[in-house]
Amino acid sequence: MKSNKNILILFGTQTGNSEDVADRIGRYVTRMNGKAQVVSLSDYPVTNLVNESIVIFVCSTTGNGEFPDNMKSFWKFMLRKGLPSNSLCHIKFSVFGLGDSSYDKFNVVAKKLNKRLLQLGALELIPLTLGDDQHELGYDAALDPWLLKLKDVLKNICNLSDSYIPDNIPLPPRYTVKFCENPSINSVSFEVCNRNDSFPLATLKKNQRVTPEDHFQSVHLLEFEIDQNVHYEPGDVAVVWPENPLEEVEDFLALLNVPLDTIFTLQPTDADVPLPKISVYPCTVRQCATTYFDIMSIPRRSFFEIFRHFSQDELEKEKLEEFTTAAGQEELYDYCNRPRRNILEVLKDFPHTTPHVPFEYFFDMIPSIRPRSFSIASSLRAHPQEFHLLVAVVQYKTRLRKPRLGLCSNWITKLKPGCSIPFSTKKGSIALLESPVPIILVGPGTGVAPFRSFIEERALKGIGDNYLFFGCRNKGKDFFFSEEWQELCEKNILKIFTAFSRDQEDKLYVQHRIAENGPLMWDLIQNKKASIYVAGNAKQMPQGVKDAFLEIITKEGGLTQEEAVKYLLSLENIKKYQMETWA
């Protein structure tokens, strides 16, 4: 039986994980209900909540407990003091959170949202559920049992059957595709949407590898020229849209049975579904494969839930169906996640299925290429009409023959001077406070990038008391900006503490250097009201640095461990201890 109730699924995401989970929930509900509306929180008018009855929220936590960009306006509205405590008493809701337990503020966004919804009178359908990216099976470990609870809840409150649309029938695609064979239509009938018209362009001025050829990792300093109207502040990030490698694009196109260079248009099968944000639209399949389909990403379970329907081979179909079951998740993880097998490779692995996938279904199966954010490694005042990026090229080996390559880092570091790319800027997780008090900067590796902008900014204003803790493997190979730091040290603008982990028998890290300078750090923090900034890989460094500061506060300040934790938390609350970390 189909329900008359509209079931709304709203997602807040930074990387696309929440969107993928929301889409999977949407398909699950659609099979029971005939329809579910899946909408980004940035595209949903929050005042429409007064018209909703059942709402499922899927939201991720970014950085150090930050709300994802597409959720910030929604959350600002939800925090309005004037909202009555019964504002949402007509809504039944559930929150599914996506987070990473290696971060201190695990799933804090989902926790805050759940609490606020309850404060506004909404009724909880299913208790707050927290997915953990650190789990061997990823978010599916929490999502599978959550979906079973959702099924029971919807059957009870909406009088739904188990399956309004049988499981062996594919759901309608999100879009229908129309190829425009008439050249005159191709050339004149459409208003072309081009990303280059929506965003400013950055022209690459210099692309320099700053690590030796024999170093284990290639790191590049890229300098871009920008329009004089573009403004950014220290701590801001640049957002860019990468493209797929030409070789992989050609491999993908070879799998398709559609015109590759004929313009096509998309028609949503549901009026509520927005058109995808393709860089140029209308476009050709070749353009779409280059700039939109993320064929280099690891396929999620939802990919196989659609893929299996088109298999023409019993063995392939059996394997694909196994990948969609809860019992088959261990094998799916071993096939996809452990070796980091990408979508293109999976499509090649199933030659009796891929040719039979209607092209329009690829928009449901393959996620879009997400923009990537890089901390800006320059001060706009020090480098007018420029921004600089410090980019480590991601490349590693798995059991697969072909090395795994990070899409954006490999794309951007291969750009040639003179080429232009669309970009935008936004606030990062850290921001330089205006106060001229001392600053303590902890930035090992490419984590030092935003601190170059901090130091350049303060140096221009003649502000000293800049204390930088920098760590890398070798002084002679990845000591980024060493000559600049030396010059500033000679001018008494900067004091630098270095930790070269592989230059001696015992490994040395930034947290060790911080602990060694306990009396100085305590004097700066307690007496001179210094601000502390930490940037870099989230794996172990941030906690090690925090432990070092806690030890200093305990020892030099004469506080108990509990008092030291409260002291450091108070610094975080007033933005005197800021972190920008990434996995």
Contact 167, 9 (CB under 8 A): no
Unique residue bearing structure tokens 């980024």: 480
103 is in an annotated binding site: yes
How many residues are present in the chain?
583
301 is in an annotated binding site: no
308 is in an annotated binding site: no
121 is in an annotated binding site: no
Contact 363, 264 (CB under 8 A): no
Residues 6+ apart with CB under 8 A from 88: 49, 117, 120, 121, 122
99 is in an annotated binding site: yes
Q: Which amino acid is at 521?
A: M
**367 — alpha (psi -120 to 50), left (phi > 0) or beta?**
beta
Task: Count Cβ atoms below 10 Å from residue 183 Cβ, excluding itself.
Answer: 10
16 is in an annotated binding site: yes
The alpha-helical segments, DSSP class H, found in 428-580 are: 449-460, 482-490, 510-516, 518-522, 541-557, 561-573
408 is in an annotated binding site: yes
Residues 6+ apart with CB under 8 A from 457: 234, 379, 381, 382, 432
374 is in an annotated binding site: yes
* 81 DSSP assignment: T
Unique residue bearing structure tokens 């009555």: 84
508 is in an annotated binding site: yes
105 is in an annotated binding site: yes
Q: Which of 453, 278, 457 is nearest to 367 (CA)?
A: 278
Contact 102, 539 (CB under 8 A): yes
Contact 511, 500 (CB under 8 A): no
509 is in an annotated binding site: yes
476 is in an annotated binding site: no
- ∠ CA 1-145-133, rounded to 5°: 130
Instruction: Please state, in angstroms and rounded to a whole number, the distance separating the CA atoms of residues 86 and 66.
Output: 27
| Cis amide linkage into residue 282, ω under 30° from 0 | yes
Sign of CA pseudo-dihedral 320, 326, 332, 334 = negative
154 is in an annotated binding site: no
Unique residue bearing structure tokens 């201190």: 104
Contact 48, 35 (CB under 8 A): no
502 is in an annotated binding site: yes
Q: Which of 140, 68, 58, 130 is nearest to 101 (CA)?
A: 130
**Residue 342, token pair as written in the block:** 């990408």
272 is in an annotated binding site: no
Tell me if residue 4 falls in helix, strand or coil. Answer: coil
- ∠ CA 344-345-350, rounded to 5°: 100
Q: Which of 58, 85, 53, 63 is nearest to 74 (CA)?
A: 58
80 is in an annotated binding site: no
Q: Kind of pairing, strands 219-225 and 201-209?
A: antiparallel
348 is in an annotated binding site: no
510 is in an annotated binding site: yes
Q: Enumerate the β-bridge partners of residue 391.
A: 220
**Residue 412, token pair as written in the block:** 């951007």
14 is in an annotated binding site: yes
Tell me if residue 481 falls in helix, strand or coil. Answer: coil
63 is in an annotated binding site: yes
98 is in an annotated binding site: yes
Q: 196-214 as b/e, with b when 16 or more CB fall inside 10 Å?
A: eeebeebebeebeebbeee
188 is in an annotated binding site: no
252 is in an annotated binding site: no
409 is in an annotated binding site: yes
199 is in an annotated binding site: no
133 is in an annotated binding site: yes
453 is in an annotated binding site: no
Which pairs from 504-510 meet CB under 8 Å and 24+ separation?
A: 508/471, 509/444, 509/471, 509/541, 509/544, 510/442, 510/444, 510/469, 510/470, 510/471, 510/541, 510/544, 510/545
- ∠ CA 201-207-209, rounded to 5°: 150
107 is in an annotated binding site: yes
* C-alpha dist (Å) from residue 57 to 97, 129, 498: 8, 11, 45
465 is in an annotated binding site: no
375 is in an annotated binding site: yes
Q: Binding site for NADP(+): which residues?
A: 446, 501-502, 507-511
Q: Binding site: which residues?
A: 13-18, 60-63, 98-107, 133, 340, 372-375, 406-409, 446, 501-502, 507-511, 582
Q: Binding site for FMN: which residues?
A: 13-18, 60-63, 98-107, 133
Q: Binding site for FAD: which residues?
A: 340, 372-375, 406-409, 582
